[in-house]
Amino acid sequence: MEKPLTQHISFNRPAFHLKDYERVGGYEAFRKCLTLPPAEITALVQESDLKGRGGAGFNTGMKWSFVPMTGDYRHKYLIANADEMEPGTFKDRMLMEGNPHQLLEGMMIAAYAIQADISYVFLRWAYRKAARLLDRAIAEAYEAGYLGSNIRKSGYGLEMYLHTGVGRYICGEETALLNALEGKRATPRSKPPFPQISGLFGQPTIVNNVETLCNLPPLLNNGPDWYKSLSRGQDAGTKLYGVSGHVKKPGLWELPMGTPMEELLQDYAGGMQDGYQFRGALPGGASTDFLVHQHMSVALDYQSVAAAGSRLGTGTMIVLDDRTCPVGFVHNLEHFFAQESCGWCTPCREGLPWTEKILHSIEEGRGSPYDLELLSTHCQQLGPGHTFCALAPGAMEPLQSVLKYFREDFENHITYHRCPWRH
């Protein structure tokens, strides 16, 4: 099984320096790109069907294709979104701690394709080890002439900076991230204009997730047909899948896109710990709908998970077991979303704390049947189309599905005025 994202990652040795990475073929793809017209690279990436790994799953090459390639711009920007903060998600950390140079090379390829002259890694503060390694890697890349002006005598120049954030989940939303980089409150921006036209400091900008960018060097080395052939499912490539919760071997694995859920849980995560039964899972972070027993055969790719009523999201699964209260589980999620709402739009700012309070009262045995109606109303009112960005609709995904699959547990809390798991 080919593992283009993780083949150069081993935690039994320090992460590669630039020279080590070059020895295994690193930066070959970028050197090749420098000899190709940028539009050709965008077309190759678009043809390969690499989809954004941050959660939205949009075709990466198509995203780039909206960047204007003519006209006079002061700057163009390429940003690696390394603000990984989706609860249950720990994949970009591994890529950056394991092989920071592959991310840098991916950024260089993307930057060249859109002819960006400035690039940023927007890294969350908590990833201290990644920050140290990226700092070192960027310095090495400058020294080796992969960054700076007139790279390898191509006439193309690129600067790269590491920016570490100061918290807040909303910074992962790409337009909020741009405001954070501009030194503002990280509230999302209205679209259009899209960042491709008017992004950082009003200039054309692409924001790509770390895992997305790490796909680019192997993709450019081997071509779109190879990239598509890696997959077992309906979308191309490999995917970093994670599992956390009461499984025997929680962890992270690079597997063909479209690996079935049952295989991930049984063969890789080792099944449930003794004494715990599987009840459900969020397939790709906190803002995805539950999948349950009936979905075990679902292929974990964007299209198949969507057909099952959820989203692949970040591909890192959180397991709900029979010894954890589903009301408490979702209460924890909604507490997170209420806290992390940026406060810009009213439905999100007011609706999420309300949702959290209702769940708290149900969990404490103070709920009423009407509360379930109220929660369902929130799922509508905070759903897609009612809010400024995707935070609140994301928050409603686990809520609407917990009410669908675990309604009886909610009703028991209300009928017996207590949490069966706590008392």
Partner 1 sequence: MKAKQSLTDSEIAAIEKEILRVPLPRAACIEAMKIVQEHRGWISDDTLTLLADHLGMSTAELDSIATFYNLIFREPVGRHVILLCDSISCYVMGYEKIYLTLSDLLHIRFGETTADGRFTLLPNVCLGACDQAPAMMIDEDTYPRLQAQQLAHILSTYP
Instruction: Single out the segment in contact with partner 1 by CB under 8 A; choices: 1-9, 26-34, 47-55, 90-98.
Output: 90-98
Shortest Cβ 256–partner 1 spacing (Å): 20
Identify which of residues 332 and 376 has a Cβ nearer to partner 1 in the complex: 332
Nearer residue to partner 1 within complex by CB, 220 or 319: 319
Q: How far apart are CA 235 and CA 102, in angstroms?
A: 22
Of the pair 111, 230, the CB lying nearest partner 1 is at: 111
**Interacting positions 15-34 with partner 1 (CB under 8 A):** none
CA distance 102 to 19: 12
Tell me which stretch binds partner 1 (CB under 8 A): 56-64, 87-95, 135-143, 349-357: 87-95
275 is a site residue for partner 1 (CB under 8 A) = no
Q: Does 88 bind partner 1 (CB under 8 A)?
A: yes
What are the angstrom distances between the C-alpha of 82 and each of 107, 138, 171, 239?
Answer: 12, 15, 10, 17
Nearest alpha carbon to residue 55 among 209, 280, 243: 209
Range 226-245, binding partner 1 (CB under 8 A):
242-245
Q: For residue 257, which amino acid is it?
A: M
336 binds partner 1 (CB under 8 A): yes
Which run of H or of E encompasses 383? Answer: none
Residue among 114, 210, 252, 308 that touches partner 1 (CB under 8 A): 252
Which range, of 42-50, 291-299, 323-331, 346-354, touches partner 1 by CB under 8 A? 323-331
Per the structure block, which two tokens stand in for 315? 């591909």
Task: Please give the Cα distance from 213 to 53 (Å, whole number).
Answer: 9
Q: How far apart are the first and last CA of the chain?
A: 48
Number of shown-chain residues binding partner 1 (CB under 8 A): 55
Please identify, among the stretches 233-241, 339-347, 386-394, 400-408, the one whose residues bind partner 1 according to the rule CB under 8 A: 339-347
What letter represents residue 301's amino acid?
D
Q: Which helix H or strand E contains 80, and what residues bound it?
A: strand 77-82
DSSP assignments along 211-237, one per residue: HHHHTHHHHHHHHHHHHHHT-SSSS-S
Task: Please give the residues from 378 up to 397 whose contact with partner 1 meets the rule CB under 8 A.
Answer: none
What angle do helix axes 391-405 and 369-381 make, rounded to 10 degrees? 140
What minimum distance in Å lies between the beta carbon of 233 and partner 1?
Answer: 23
What sign does the CA torsion over 105, 123, 121, 302 have?
Answer: positive
**Exposure of 383 in the CB half-sphere (CA atoms within 13 A):** 13
CB 238 within 8 A of CB 226: no
Contacts of 308 (CB under 8 A, 6+ apart): 291, 295, 298
Contact between 246 and partner 1 by CB under 8 A: the answer reads: yes
Q: Which lies closer to partner 1 via its Cβ, residue 21 or residue 122?
A: 122
For the record, the structure tokens of 115 come out as: 């002819």
Q: Out of 15, 16, 64, 84, which residue is the one contacting partner 1 (CB under 8 A)?
A: 84
Tokens, residue 325: 């209260």
CB of 111 to partner 1, least distance (A): 16
Binding mask 280-299 for partner 1 (x = CB under 8 A): --x---x-------------
Can you tell me which residue has the tokens 């949009």?
58
Using the rule CB under 8 A, which residue among 65, 324, 361, 381 binds partner 1?
A: 324
SS3 278: strand
State which residue, 142 or 161, has the beta carbon closest to partner 1.
161
Within 121-140, the residues that bind partner 1 by CB under 8 A are 124-129
Q: Are 186 and 78 in contact (CB under 8 A)?
A: no
* Interface characters, 142-181, with partner 1 (x: CB under 8 A): -------------------x-xxxxxxx----------x-
CB of 333 to partner 1, least distance (A): 6
Q: Which two tokens stand for residue 74?
A: 């002061």
* Interacting residues of 180 by C-beta distance below 8 A, sequence separation 6+: 122, 165, 168, 171, 186
Smallest gap, in angstroms, from Cβ of residue 181 to partner 1? 8
Nearest distance in Å: CB 25, partner 1: 28
Residue 40's CB: how many other CB atoms inside 10 A?
11
**Minimum distance from CB of 13 to partner 1 (Å)?**
20
Least distance to partner 1 from the beta carbon of 229, Å? 29
Binding site for partner 1 (CB under 8 A): 84-90, 92-93, 124-129, 161, 163-169, 180, 182-186, 201, 242-246, 250-252, 282, 286, 316, 318-321, 324, 328-329, 332-333, 335-336, 339-340, 342
